[in-house]
């Protein structure tokens, strides 16, 4: 087998803004594994808050060229690379290759339900309330909106979005911005707007700040839950986990994380980093097991791959066979 990997730059439609800053493009790393007759592809997006860059991800992947040539499978990969975007890209390339060799779709190989369209959240970037209201009004026909928050002034932001989209379901992502704030009070203030989920209210590693809070809106661990090793710390503090394959290091660990999380009574959210439809296709398969699906990473780009995953009325379509899986 042979391994190839490269960095690709894709422009964002406008700008994608969260409490930590704005992005006008995303660099993804694509891993390609070939056996002479079949080709498998996988995409990873560097997790910047872990210090990853597209260049470090590329180097990690290419460092596995000899192992791939020797026939490395997904099980061996889990021991050779740590969780993160590099293992994600390579793990998903191996899934894709396996599916093509077996002439069997990945969802069947993984024992998952046949994929059908899922409602996906559509992100409203953090901004002043007037801008967020206008953005919400432009997306008011979508069933589920996700608001990026920043701490100070979040009540006004959510109120503005609710005015702009009075009938949409709302989830919010604090991106750790509520550390040092009255988390219980912030949560109670948002309840009147019908918010149904709050992602990562406090900084990862400071999860004990949630001890004793009986939240009227469930909390989802994002930065605080990377893979199964984080579940014990999240249980009792969060009611849900946001599974992103760039965090888990691929579909293989994501499947195990979802299974063990559900066994502990945690709700499942499937999320993503910015990326193309090639990056959205593997996590899409987990959507049937999730309460919330947030896979708009490709919908936020100015352009996408051929055979892209498409959305109509807030429903994201399954990936085409020639895209992945």
pLDDT along the chain (325 residues), means of 10: 98 70 87 97 94 97 98 98 98 98 98 96 94 96 95 95 97 94 94 96 95 93 97 96 98 98 97 97 95 95 95 95 95
pLDDT at 170: 98
- Percent of the chain scored above 70 by pLDDT? 98
From the candidates 100, 148, 192, 247, give the one annotated as an active-site residue.
Answer: 148
219 token code pair: 């909390």
Q: Where in the chain is the domain with CATH 3.30.390.10?
A: 2-104
Evaluate whether 196 touches 169 at the Cβ level (below 8 Å): yes
Domain 2-104 falls under CATH 3.30.390.10? yes
Query: Is-catalytic flag, 148?
Result: yes
Query: What size, in residues, is the chain?
Result: 325
Residue 208 half-sphere exposure toward CB, CA atoms < 13 A: 1
**CATH code for residues 118-316:** 3.20.20.120
Query: Is-catalytic flag, 131?
Result: no
Q: How big is the CA angle at 167 (ends 173 and 176), to the nearest 5 degrees? A: 5
18 token code pair: 């969260």
Evaluate whether 17 touches 127 at the Cβ level (below 8 Å): yes
Give the burial class of 262: count Cβ atoms within 10 A of its Cβ; 0-12 exposed, 13-18 middle, 19 or more buried.
middle
pLDDT at 14: 74
Q: How far apart are CA 313 and CA 162, in angstroms?
A: 19
215 token code pair: 């939240």
pLDDT at 15: 64
pLDDT at 289: 87
Task: Select from 153, 161, 179, 159 the least CA-distant residue to 125.
Answer: 161
Q: Which residue is it, tokens 């791959």? A: 305
């Amino acid at each position: 087998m042979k391994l190839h990997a490269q960095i690709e730059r894709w422009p964002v439609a406008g700008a994608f803004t969260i409490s930590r800053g704005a992005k006008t493009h995303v660099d993804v790393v694509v891993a390609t594994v070939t056996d002479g007759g079949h080709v498998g592809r996988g995409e990873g997006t560097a997790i910047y808050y872990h210090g990853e860059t597209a260049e470090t991800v590329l180097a990690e992947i290419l460092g596995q060229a000899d192992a791939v040539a020797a026939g490395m499978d997904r099980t061996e990969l889990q021991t050779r690379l740590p969780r993160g975007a590099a293992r994600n890209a390579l793990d998903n390339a191996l899934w894709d290759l396996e599916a093509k060799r077996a002439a069997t779709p990945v969802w069947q190989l993984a024992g998952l339900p046949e994929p059908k369209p899922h409602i996906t959240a559509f992100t409203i970037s953090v901004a002043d309330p007037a801008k967020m209201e206008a953005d919400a009004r432009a997306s008011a026909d979508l069933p589920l909106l996700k608001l990026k928050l920043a701490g100070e002034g979040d009540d006004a932001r959510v109120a503005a979005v609710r005015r702009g989209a009075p009938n949409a379901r709302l989830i919010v992502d604090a991106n750790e911005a509520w550390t040092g704030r009255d988390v219980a009070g912030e949560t109670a203030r948002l309840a009147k707007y019908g918010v149904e989920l709050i992602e990562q209210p406090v900084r990862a590693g400071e999860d004990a700040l949630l001890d004793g809070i009986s939240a009227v809106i469930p909390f989802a661990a994002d930065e605080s839950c990377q893979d199964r090793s984080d579940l014990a710390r999240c249980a009792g503090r969060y009611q849900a986990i946001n599974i992103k394959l760039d965090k888990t290091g691929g579909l293989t660990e994501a499947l195990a994380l979802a299974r063990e999380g559900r066994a502990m009574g945690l709700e499942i959210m499937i999320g993503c980093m910015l990326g193309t439809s090639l990056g959205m296709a593997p996590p899409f398969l987990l959507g049937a097991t999730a309460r919330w699906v947030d896979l708009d990473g490709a919908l936020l780009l100015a352009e996408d791959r051929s055979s892209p995953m498409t959305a109509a009325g807030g429903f994201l379509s399954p990936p085409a066979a020639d895209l992945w899986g």
